[in-house]
Amino acid sequence: MGLFQRIKKDIRVIFERDPAAKSVFEVIFCYPGLHALLLHRIAHWLYQKNLVLLPRLISQFNRFLTGIEIHPGARIGEGLFIDHGMGVVIGETAEIGDNVTIYQGVTLGGTGKEKGKRHPTVGNNVVISAGAKVLGSLVVGDNVKIGAGSVVLRNVPPNCTVVGVPGKVVVREGRKIADMQPDAVDLQHHLLPDPVGEMILCLQRKIGRLENRIEELEAKLYDSQGIQHAH
């Protein structure tokens, strides 16, 4: 795909996923996610030519200009949409598939000083919500949704929703991502289950059952004592 075709696709993706986008000129001049991608592609091309300093300088300028830090070594597929983008960090060995959406404050980072592959591999049609951290050389499968503020430290199977710290796979109210169209991107990242709230409800129900059981036992005890006093 040529450079101009890729830019046209990047612009089209923004219109598809951001209802606030009103015009092409607005997208070109006012969307830092688009600027970050363009600069990253230049830096990544130079990085593949075994250059080091110039790609890193472009990456740092990119960070200064957009608030988005993408290492030149990161591999990014087609259709990435970085919404707002401030505070997004994508590490050197990170790999991002097609049709991925990333919100502000997301980190695709490492967990230590190990060499080699140390950043996440993200599949296709993935949504990573605001403030989420995906850390280490793990794999996030296709059609995954990661909730806001989650910290993902383990592999995530395809067609799952992850929430919490540390991130846990949960089921979303009977609606499976696999039932969607293959190329659709589900942006409803506010419709996520609350595992902590569900646990509290389970504890409340269990306490209610225990209270009922105690009342039954007390009633039986009082009845038996009443019969004894009657005698």
pLDDT tens-digit readout, 27-52? 999 999 999 999 999 999 999 999 98
d(CA 201, CA 209): 12
CA-wise closest residue to 106 among 92, 86, 120: 86
CA-wise closest residue to 102 among 37, 155, 182: 37
pLDDT tens per residue across span 85-137:
899 999 999 999 999 999 999 999 988 777 889 999 999 999 999 999 999 99
CB 144 within 8 A of CB 160: yes
Contacts of 27 (CB under 8 A, 6+ apart): 11, 14, 15, 21, 34
* Band of residue 192 on the pLDDT scale cut at 50, 70, 90: low
Residue 71 pLDDT greater than 50, yes or no? yes
Contacts of 147 (CB under 8 A, 6+ apart): 129, 132, 161, 162, 163, 164, 167, 189, 192
Q: Are strands 161-163 and 168-170 parallel, antiparallel or unpaired?
A: antiparallel
Residue 182, pLDDT score? 46
| pTM, entire model | 0.73
